[in-house]
Structures are given as structure tokens and as C-alpha cells.
Amino acid sequence: MIDIEHRRVLMCPPDYFTVRDVKNPFMASGAPVDHDLAKRQWSAVGDAFTSAGVTVEKIDAVEDLEDMVFAANQVFVGTDSAGTRFIVPSAMRYESRAREVPHYVRWFKQHGFRTIDLRLDAGAGEYLEGHGDLLWHPNRPHVWAGYGFRSTLAGVRKFTEAMEREEIAGVMPLELVDETFYHLDTCFVPLTSHAALVYSPALSAGALASLRGAFKRLHDVSREDAMQFACNGVPVNGYFIASHLSDALWKVVRNEGLKPVIVDTSEFEKAGGSVFCLKVFLD
């Protein structure tokens, strides 16, 4: 039985991608980006989705928006209680990334998505960074919401109020405590409705207790695996598309009924992102 199914994904080509500013610790290495290699890697990630039965849609890249390739962050996507697809636009912490949001909002409006605008006040510290920090629990009206480095508890609270008011989902905040794992999608990923990978030291004790209560199997990832973005893999249609899996994790993924697919994302990792960050599911 396939637990996590998706048929459409949105990606943004890396036309203007580069590492500029240090927005997260991965960006501090100063390693230069090989732009041709980045383009090939991005195409291979798209091909992996296609092979997994997912249609890849594209949004045009915009000059000067070097991180726009990370399509997971600009909006949160869901389906409301009436079955209408909606987005919640993000309030990004960094100014250059905040400028990406209107481009994505326009794309989603043109494609029939309703907008739930939280009117987040960045001046009051209300930040919310889309699916970087907001992860759906597979097949449940429930969202796990990381906060601490990029999204804030104030942002997550406004999101929670809206999701509850609209009877869309319950939301559980998860505090992040290791700045290297600055987004929830760098240290946690559900593999199925019942099992997840987690790099435990990146989460507060309370956050870990919440996850333990919700997943039958919480598989611990080593720091080495986490630093290579094992938790930034994508479970979809019976596959787990990731940039890296140690032998031990490979077995865990297989035992959970998924077929591992490895794609190289070295150039994007220099900016702090891998497979999960490079896409947003549309369904």
C-alpha cells in the first residue's frame, strides 16, 4: 500500500541560483557554486519526480532572487474543508527571500488556489517560512510546525489560529534548538503515516515527546547523515528521493516499504537545501 501519494509538484529552475549572504550555517563554507552542475542536478531531481509518477510544473526564475529555486518556502499549500486548494503566503526572515513570495503567490492565484492571508507582521517578529518549517502529517489533518531560527512561535500561532478557525488542521509547534538545522525539513521527515526520520538533538525535549507520541516508529538519524541532508529526502508514491543515505538508513527506508532513489544535490547543499527544499507539492 502506498501511504504518501502526490501527482504534481512545482519547481523553479536555478537560472539565477547562487550562494549570497549567510542565511544559514551551510552557507558559511564559501565553497563556490558550479552553476552548470547545479542545472544538471536540478534537472535530475525533476527527472526523479517524473520517474516516480509526479508531473513537474515550473515557475519562472526571477533575476536577483538567488534562493528562489528553493520552492518549499514561499507558501504553505493545502486543501480546505470544502476541498478547495489554498495557500498561506510566507513571511520570510531575509529581505531577499521575502521578495520571492509575491511571484509564487501570483503563480498559485493563476492556477486557481485560494489565498489565506495571515497578515503576518514581520516588524512584530511574525515569521513563517512555508514547508521549510510546516510539514503535513501524512493522511491526517495535522501540521508539524518548526520554529526558533526562521519561523517564529508568533508566526506559528497566527498560522494555527487560521487552520483551526477554518477547520483545516490541528497544528503542533516543535521548537528547534540547533542552528545548523534551521528549518524543520533539515532534521525531520515522515516516511509514512506511522514512521519518521529524525535528528533528535535538533529538537527540544518537548518537541521530541510530541513526535514520539504521534509516530509508532521514530528512526534516529546520525549527525553525519543529517549534515548530508538525509532528513531532506522526499517520500512519494513508494519512493524516497534523497541526496544521501548511509547503509543503516537505506535499510530503515527499505523496511518502511520505500524504494530509495539517490540524487546528487551538492551545489544546493552549499546554500543549505536539498531535495525537499527544491519543490512544493501541489496536491
Name which of residues 45 to 84 contact ligand ARG (CB under 6 A). 67, 70, 72-73
Q: How far is the CB of 67 from ligand ARG (least distance, A)?
A: 4
According to the binding rule CB under 6 A, does residue 132 interact with ligand ARG?
yes
The reply to whether 277 belongs to the active site is yes
126, 158 Cβ separation under 8 angstroms: yes
According to the binding rule CB under 6 A, does residue 97 interact with ligand ARG?
yes
Q: How far apart are CA 269 and CA 227, in angstroms?
A: 9
Identify the CA nearest to 170 among candidates 151, 131, 143. Answer: 143
The reply to whether 183 belongs to the active site is yes
Instruction: Single out the segment in contact with ligand ARG by CB under 6 A; choices: 53-61, 99-107, 203-211, 272-280.
Output: 272-280
Q: How far apart are CA 33 and CA 18, in angstroms?
A: 6
Q: How far is the CB of 276 from ligand ARG (least distance, A)?
A: 6
List the catalytic residue out of 6, 183, 187, 244: 183
According to the binding rule CB under 6 A, does residue 243 interact with ligand ARG?
no
Q: How far apart are CA 181 and CA 249, in angstroms?
A: 19
CB 276: neighbour CB atoms within 10 A?
A: 26
Identify the CA nearest to 163 among candidates 191, 155, 106, 121. Answer: 155
Closest to ligand ARG by CB, 64 or 247: 64
Q: How far apart are CA 216 and CA 193, in angstroms?
A: 9
Instruction: Single out the segment in contact with ligand ARG by CB under 6 A; choices: 29-37, 54-62, 154-162, 179-187.
Output: 179-187
H or E segment at 207? Answer: helix 205-214
Residues in contact with ligand ARG by CB under 6 A are 23-24, 67, 70, 72-73, 97, 132, 183, 185-186, 271-273, 277
Q: Known catalytic residues?
A: 183, 277
